[in-house]
Structure 1
Amino acid sequence: MEARDNNVLELRGEALGVINIQSSSEELFQNKTLRPILKLQNDLFIQVFINYAIKQKGAFFELSPDKKMAYIENVIQRDIKFRNSLKGMIIAFFTLEEYAEYIQISSNLNKRMMNMLIERLKSQVQLIEK
């Protein structure tokens, strides 16, 4: 398992964001683990969202920019299956140690994960086209 963890860490790269002594454990996890994974998986998240929108009759693509932002947020918050799929794409890149830490505070970290992903997709809405 050590080889897997090393490979995962090498793929993800360095921590992103500010890390200091006052950082909470959740903030540390966010910057050391979540941000690098979200960056690594970014292109895949965009394609997964496009596929989701197409399967939902493509209504997303006809919306105004403001309504697209609301759609992204609503879908990720309300469609449990879709949210769990996205969550799995993130958790798959945890090391065993990170997973052990994650399960201790998963509720708070899940909120952070999804909020970060929502903001990431919203900031790239122009890339989400058929």
Structure 2
Amino acid sequence: MIDNKLSIRPVIIHIGTVENKTQEEGFQNTTLRPILKLQHELLIAFFENYVKRKKIDFQGLSSEKKNDFVSNIFKNDNMFKTELRGMIIGQFTVSEFAAYKSISSDANKRILTMAKERLLSVFL
């Protein structure tokens, strides 16, 4: 089962090695980035569904308003953030989850920051 989860993740070549990095940086580069890349299309669909449920004309907003809207979601909507983190954490292996538990606060911030950056790069 572990090999299956790891085998479907995209390889991100330009990350570099995890030597001389903190545990958090290593976890981000070896686990979080590949999972976020794997889940990219789902993340986009999740966001589009969120916008549709909220009945927001997102495409009609200016770039500045889109940026503000996305920033406010990541600041204020705890349900959105919890579901998004669940999409990522659900792709962890058992050993990755064990590592995550010791750095969960930092890892959660990194997950949300990287997801927000992905959404902004797609929609702005």
> Shorter-chain TM-score: what band?
over 0.9
What residue in structure 2 maps to residue 116 of structure 1?
114
The equivalences for 1:35-114 within 5 A come to 35-114=33-112
Runs (4+) of structure 1 exceeding 6 A deviation are none
Find out whether 1:14 has 2:1 as its counterpart.
no
Tell me the C-alpha RMSD between the 2 structures: 1.4
Structure 1 residues 97 and 15, CA gap change in structure 2 (3 angstroms): farther
Superposition TM-score, scaled by structure 1 size: 0.88
1: CA distance, partners of 2:40 / 2:101: 24
Q: Percent identity?
A: 42
Runs of 5+ unmatched residues, structure 1: none
| TM-superposition CA deviations, 1:28-81 (whole Å, max 9, x none) | 000100000010000110011001001111242321011101211210221111
What residue in structure 1 maps to residue 29 of structure 2?
31
Aligned pairs, number: 123
Structure 1 residues 25 and 10, CA gap change in structure 2 (3 angstroms): same
Q: Is the 8 A contact 2:18 2:25 kept in 1?
A: no
Q: Is the 8 A contact 1:14 1:32 kept in 2?
A: no
2: CA distance, partners of 1:20 / 1:56: 40
